[in-house]
């Protein structure tokens, strides 16, 4: 073998040895690498499955007084027997009407301008003539008495006749039968009715204007027949003038619960009065909330309670999860509801927004109202 061939053979043997060593080492390397990879995989945290979460708003459940109310509607009217009628004892002609029904007036406010009618002028002229005749007759009887031509009884009768004629004349004159005049409000109040118009002839004692003290305005409500049994005299009622939105209610009470049904509306009429410090306008529309029951209990907004499968349901939050409660309803009104349940207690966080999407045990993200 030549020197060159020997060198080539030696190189082949070295290469073969290296390849053999590599092949013998590679399985153990792969095994070590595999074991190391398993340990790293075990060290990584296992991802939990996605859990649905609802965003809700809660409030603390508290005991408080709740009032159950009956909502009714009606309008104001003058209190019976409280109207003051303005009239004159003689026939008159209306010159001007200075007020309208519903106007609030003060003491001394001009209401209506009148003048004596033609008949009244003739009546006053006749009364004056009769008075003058009675005066002349009285003087004549006095003279005849001095001449023994009349008796004291004659003089007494003449004096009585003169007195009556004088009173009649003075009464007509004092009440304005001899002149035009402006009639004014004798007290502060509200004009409830105006019975006349300009140019109208009004008979003696005829009603010209009616007014009432604004402290004697009542509210007439209509209630269903079956609700009448819930009402008694002096029962509390809150009054809300319909034209005032968002205003504070007026406190009042029931004065009369009628004993018959209105033939037109088929409702039982109820009269209520506002408190002494409150004022209502005449013929004003009013909403009333009659207090029919009041007590302390666990109270929530009506919107917090759901109807589910024929039950009333309320949700609370415990450890960031929803808890379903089947409850019973107590007293209620337009905005609130008393809830009763063996698993309810004061201080629980009650869901008031977002409850429609909840189910028992569901995770929640809580937003507490400020």
Amino acid 369: pLDDT: 67
Amino acid 102: pLDDT: 79
If asked whether residues 241 and 261 sit together in one domain, one would say yes
Q: What is the CATH number of the domain that holds 329?
A: 2.40.420.20
**CA–centroid distance for 174 within its chain:** 49
Q: What is the CATH number of the domain that holds 102?
A: 2.40.50.100
Amino acid 294: pLDDT: 92
If asked whether residues 276 and 320 sit together in one domain, one would say no
Structure tokens at 177: 């039968």
| 12 pLDDT more than 90 | no
| 349 pLDDT more than 90 | yes
Amino acid 175: pLDDT: 82
Amino acid 42: pLDDT: 44
Q: Give which of 268, 347, 260, 340 is closest to 297, Cα–Cα.
A: 340
Q: Which domain holds residue 265?
A: 70-78+217-294
Average pLDDT over every residue of 199-205: 95
Average pLDDT over every residue of 225-235: 92
Q: What is the pLDDT of residues 127-178, one digit of tens each?
A: 999 999 999 999 999 999 899 888 999 999 999 999 999 999 998 888 888 8
If asked whether residues 310 and 351 sit together in one domain, one would say yes
- State the chain's mean pLDDT as an integer: 84
Q: Which of 37-41, 238-242, 341-345 has the lowest mean pLDDT?
A: 37-41
| 60 pLDDT more than 80 | yes
| 267 pLDDT more than 80 | yes
Amino acid 15: pLDDT: 45
Amino acid 370: pLDDT: 64
If asked whether residues 329 and 347 sit together in one domain, one would say yes
**237: in domain:** yes
If asked whether residues 102 and 192 sit together in one domain, one would say yes
Q: What is the pLDDT of residues 76-113, one digit of tens each?
A: 988 876 778 999 988 999 999 999 987 888 999 999 99
Give the burial class of 288: count Cβ atoms within 10 A of its Cβ; 0-12 exposed, 13-18 middle, 19 or more buried.
buried
Q: Give which of 244, 203, 15, 178 is closest to 92, Cα–Cα.
A: 203
If asked whether residues 222 and 174 sit together in one domain, one would say no
Average pLDDT over every residue of 40-52: 48
| 229 pLDDT more than 60 | yes
If asked whether residues 74 and 221 sit together in one domain, one would say yes
Q: What is the CATH number of the domain that holds 288?
A: 2.40.30.170
Domain termination residue (choose one: 263, 294, 325): 294
If asked whether residues 119 and 170 sit together in one domain, one would say yes
Structure tokens at 272: 């209520």
Q: How many other CB atoms sit within 10 Å of the CB of residue 128?
A: 16
Q: Backbone phi, then psi, for 215, in 5-degree steps?
A: -85, 0
Top-confidence range, 44-53, 88-97, 212-221, 280-289: 88-97
| Residue 28's pLDDT band (cuts 50, 70, 90) | very low
Domain termination residue (choose one: 192, 212, 232): 212
Domain termination residue (choose one: 234, 263, 294): 294
Structure tokens at 64: 């408080």
Average pLDDT over every residue of 43-54: 56
Q: Give the SS3 label for residue 290.
A: strand
Split into its structural domains, the chain has a count of 3
| 6 pLDDT more than 60 | no
Structure tokens at 37: 């990879």
If asked whether residues 246 and 195 sit together in one domain, one would say no
Top-confidence range, 7-11, 21-25, 209-213, 309-313: 309-313
β-strand pairing of 189-194 with 209-212: antiparallel
If asked whether residues 288 and 237 sit together in one domain, one would say yes
**172: in domain:** yes
pLDDT above 70 coverage of the chain, percent: 85
Amino acid 313: pLDDT: 96
| 27 pLDDT more than 50 | no
Cα 151 to Cα 114: distance, rounded to the nearest angstrom? 47
**222: in domain:** yes
Q: Backbone phi, then psi, for 146, in 5-degree steps?
A: -70, -25
If asked whether residues 139 and 221 sit together in one domain, one would say no
| 20 pLDDT more than 70 | no
Amino acid 199: pLDDT: 95
Give the burial class of 90: count Cβ atoms within 10 A of its Cβ; 0-12 exposed, 13-18 middle, 19 or more buried.
buried
């Amino acid at each position: 073998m030549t020197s060159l061939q020997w060198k080539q053979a030696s190189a082949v043997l070295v290469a073969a040895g290296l390849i053999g060593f590599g092949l013998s080492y590679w399985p153990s390397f792969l095994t070590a690498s595999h074991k190391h990879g398993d340990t790293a995989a075990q060290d990584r945290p296992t991802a939990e499955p996605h859990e649905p979460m609802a965003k809700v708003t809660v409030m603390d459940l508290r005991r408080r007084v709740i009032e159950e109310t009956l909502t009714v509607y009606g309008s104001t009217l003058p209190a019976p027997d409280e109207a003051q009628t303005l009239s004159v004892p003689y026939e008159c002609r209306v010159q001007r009407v200075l007020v309208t029904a519903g106007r609030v007036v003060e003491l001394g406010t001009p209401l209506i301008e009148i003048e004596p009618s033609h008949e009244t002028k003739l009546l006053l002229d006749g009364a004056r003539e009769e008075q003058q005749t009675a005066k002349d007759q009285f003087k004549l009887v006095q003279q005849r008495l001095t001449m023994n031509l009349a008796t004291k009884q004659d003089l007494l009768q003449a004096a009585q006749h003169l007195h009556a004629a004088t009173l009649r004349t003075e009464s007509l004159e004092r009440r304005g039968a001899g002149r035009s005049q402006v009639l004014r409000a004798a007290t502060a109040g509200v004009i409830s009715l105006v019975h006349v118009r300009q140019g109208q002839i009004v008979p003696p004692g005829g009603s010209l204007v009616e007014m009432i003290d604004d402290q004697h305005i009542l509210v007439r409500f209509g209630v269903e027949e079956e609700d009448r049994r819930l009402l008694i005299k002096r029962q509390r009622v809150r009054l809300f003038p319909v034209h005032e939105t968002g205003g504070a209610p007026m406190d009042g009470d029931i004065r009369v619960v009628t004993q018959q049904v209105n033939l037109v509306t088929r409702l039982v009429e109820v009269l209520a009065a506002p408190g002494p410090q409150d004022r209502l306008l005449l013929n004003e529309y009013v909403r009333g909330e009659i207090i029919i029951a009041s007590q302390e209990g666990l109270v929530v907004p009506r919107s917090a309670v759901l109807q589910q499968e024929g039950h009333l349901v309320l949700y609370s939050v415990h450890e960031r999860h929803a808890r379903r409660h089947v409850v019973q309803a107590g007293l209620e009104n337009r905005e609130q509801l008393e809830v009763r349940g063996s698993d309810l207690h004061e201080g629980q966080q009650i869901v008031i927004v977002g409850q429609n999407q909840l189910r028992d045990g569901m995770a929640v993200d809580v937003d507490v109202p400020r």
